[in-house]
Structures are given as structure tokens and as C-alpha cells.
Amino acid sequence: MRTAIALTTLILALPLTACGEDASAACGSVDDLKASVNDLKQVDVSSPDDLPDLQSALKAVESDFAGVKKDAKSEFSARVDAVETSLAALKSSVGQAQKAPAADTVAAAVSALSAFGTQVQKLVGDVKSTC
């Protein structure tokens, strides 16, 4: 009887351990993403001259997001997809602002940055609830 209880306990604990390891990797990844998004939000984009700084910060975000996709895609696919879509929109807006620097294209980039930040916050919140 004790052997059966011990075996059952061990079998039930295995998925939890595996989940904890996956969650741990995802938790670290979203921490990195959150930090790079915070850095991105600190970039002053009040003029088209600031767009190269935004582009540089965006590269760091893309790199950190790649880690999140690797670590969290299976469990948080809908949120990861939403972030990926908003990141593509942000990159497009920044690209347009660089090609045709004007107040309206910079404003579109700022708006896309805000939308992206919102999606990242939702993803971070979901992942952190499992940490």
C-alpha cells in the first residue's frame, strides 16, 4: 500500500515539476522582455531624428521576444501571437516613419508602441500568474 501511495505521489509530482521548469524559463524570458520594452518606452520619439534610437531599442525587444516565444508559445500561444502581431505593426510604423519622417508618421509609431506595450503587459501578466 505504501509503495502504491509513493508511486502515485511521484507520478503526480512529475508533471508539476516539468511545468515548473517550463514556467521558470518563461518567467525569466518575460522579465527580459518587460525590461527591454521599458527601455523602448523611454526612447524620446518627439521628432523623426529620434527614430534610429527607437529602431535600436526595438532590436533588443525583438531579441527578448524570441526567447519568450521559445519558452512560452506552447502555453500562451494566443498572447504570444497577439504580441507578435502588434510587434509587426510597430516595426511597420517605425519603418514608415523612417521612410517619410513627419509628425503623422511619428505619431503612428508612438500609437503602435502604445498598443504593443499593452499586449506585452497582458502576456507578462499571464505568464507571471504561473510563476
CATH for 2-128 is 1.20.1420.10
CA angle, residues 37, 51, 95, in degrees to nearest 5: 90
User: Please, what is the average pLDDT of the chain?
Assistant: 81
CA angle, residues 124, 83, 108, in degrees to nearest 5: 120
Does residue 102 carry a pLDDT above 90? no
Domain boundaries, the chain: 2-128
> pLDDT, tens digit, for every residue of 45-95?
776 777 788 888 999 999 999 999 999 888 999 999 999 999 999 999 989
* Residues belonging to the chain: 131
| pLDDT (0 to 100) of residue 14 | 34
Q: How confident is the model at residue 23 (pLDDT cuts 50, 70, 90)?
A: low
Rounded mean pLDDT, 20-32: 78
Backbone angles phi and psi of 76, in degrees to 5: -125, 40
Contact at 8 Å (CB) between 72 and 30? yes
C-alpha cell of residue 97: 516613419
The whole-model pTM stands at 0.75
